[in-house]
Chains A and B, each alone.
Chain A
Amino acid sequence: MSDPNLEGEDFRRARRGRNIAIAVGLAVFVILVYVVTIVNMGSDVLHRPL
C-alpha cells in the first residue's frame, strides 16, 4: 500500500524500478530452475521408455 502523500513522480519512478527488478528476478529464477533441470537430466532424457 502506498502512502498518497508520497505519491509523486519520484515515487512512481522508484516503484516502477522496483517492480521491474522483481519481475527480472523472478524470470531469472524460473529460467535457472528450467536450465538446471535440463542439465541434470542430461542425455538420459533421450533414453527413457516411451
Chain B
Amino acid sequence: MAMATAPTSVRAPARWQDFLQLLKPRVMSLVVFTALTGLVCAPEHLNPILGAVAILCIAVGAGASGALNMWYDADIDAAMRRTRGRPVPAGRVQGADALALGIVLSLLSVMLMGVGVNWFAAGLLAFTIVFYAVVYTMWLKRWTAQNIVIGGLAGALPPVIGWAAATGTAPLNAWLLCAIIFMWTPPHFWALSLYTSEDYAKAGVPMMPVVKGAKSTRAQILVYSLLLIPVCVAPAFTGLGGAAYLGVSSLGGLVFLLLAWRLFRSHAGEAADPRNDDGLYDVRAGARDARNLFAFSILYLALMFATLLGEHLAGLKPLEFL
C-alpha cells in the first residue's frame, strides 16, 4: 500500500478552522445539495427534524471521508499547486489528527443516521465513506486512469442516501439521480485535468491526460457527454421530472454537447508549457475550451438538481409519458 509521506512537523498551532478545512466544505455543500434533492424528490415525506438530521449526517460523513482523503493523500497534495496549501501538507495539522477526525466523524455520522433515521440509509452512508476513502483514495487514484470514473460513484451516491433516508428504499428514480452524477463526473474532471495535467504528472497521479494523452482524453470526454445527456433527460420520462426539468436538461444538454464537441476539436492539453507557472485556473493557449466545459458542467448539474428540487417543493406534477 502506497502510504502517504506527509510532513509530520507542525509549524504553526492548528486552529479549529484548519480542522474544518479538512472536511472540504465546498464538496460538502454540493453533497448537501444533491442529498437534499434526493430526500425531497422521494415520494414519502420524512419528519422535517429527521430530514435535517439525515442531511447533517450525510454532510458530516462526506466531510469525514474528505479528512481521510487528506490524511492519506498528503504526499500528492504537497506536490500539486491546487492542494499544497491544505492543512496536512502545509504542516498546520498532523496526519494522525486528520485520520482521527475522519474516523470519529465517520462513526458518529453513520451511528446517528442509523439510530435516528434508518439503518438502510446508514449502511449506504457507510459504504460511500469506505468507497471514497479506501477504494478511491487508497487504491484507484494511484493505480488507474479510470480512477475518477469508478471513484465517481462515491460522489454520486448522496441523492440515493437522501432518498433512502426518506423512504427506507432505493428505487429506480433514486439510482437515476445517482447515474446523472456518475456519468457527469468523467467529462467534468477530465476537462479540469486537461489544463492541470502537469500537476497530476508531477504528483504521479495517473489521470487520463497523463496516461493516455490529451487527444484520447478529449475523445473520451465527447463519448461520455453523448452518454450523459440521455441519462440527464431520462427523469422527465420516469415520473421524476416535470416540464421545466425536461427543458433545462435537454437545452443544457445541447450546450454541453456543443462545448464537448468544441473541446474535442481543440488542442486543449497539448500546448502546456512546463515553464509556465500561471495560476491553476489561468487559461493557457488551447485550454479555453476545456475551461468552458468544466465551468458549464458545474452549472448544468446545479441547474438540473435545482429544477428538480424546485418542482417537488412547489408540488408541480411530473410529466406523464408512460
The residue on A at minimum CB distance from B97 is A18
Q: Which residues of B contact A10 (CB under 8 A)?
A: 12-13
**A18 in contact with B14 given A29-B108, A32-B116, A33-B112 (CB within 8 Å):** yes
* A50 on interface, CB distance cutoff 8 Å: no
The residue on B at minimum CB distance from A10 is B13
The residue on B at minimum CB distance from A14 is B13
**A36 in contact with B13 given A18-B19, A21-B19 (CB within 8 Å):** no
Task: Name the residue among B10, B15, B16, B53 with the largest chain A CB count within 10 angstroms.
Answer: B16
Task: Please tell me if the beta carbons of A18 and B16 are within 8 angstroms of each other in the complex.
Answer: yes
- Tell me, rounded to whole Å, the shortest Cβ–Cβ distance linking B174 to chain A: 23
Cβ 8 A contact of B49, one of A17, A21, A39? A39
The residue on B at minimum CB distance from A19 is B16
Q: How far is the CA of A37 from the CA of B111 in the complex (A)?
A: 13
Task: Please tell me if the beta carbons of B19 and A36 are within 8 angstroms of each other in the complex.
Answer: no
* B115 on interface, CB distance cutoff 8 Å: yes
Task: Please tell me if the beta carbons of A14 and B116 are within 8 angstroms of each other in the complex.
Answer: no
- Tell me, rounded to whole Å, the shortest Cβ–Cβ distance linking A3 to chain B: 8
* B50 on interface, CB distance cutoff 8 Å: yes
Task: Please tell me if the beta carbons of A18 and B50 are within 8 angstroms of each other in the complex.
Answer: no
Task: Please tell me if the beta carbons of A14 and B49 are within 8 angstroms of each other in the complex.
Answer: no
* A46 on interface, CB distance cutoff 8 Å: no
* B276 on interface, CB distance cutoff 8 Å: no
| A→B interface (CB under 8 Å) | 6, 10-11, 13-15, 17-18, 20-21, 29, 32-33, 35-37, 39-40
| B→A interface (CB under 8 Å) | 10, 12-16, 19, 47, 49-50, 53, 56, 108, 112, 115-117
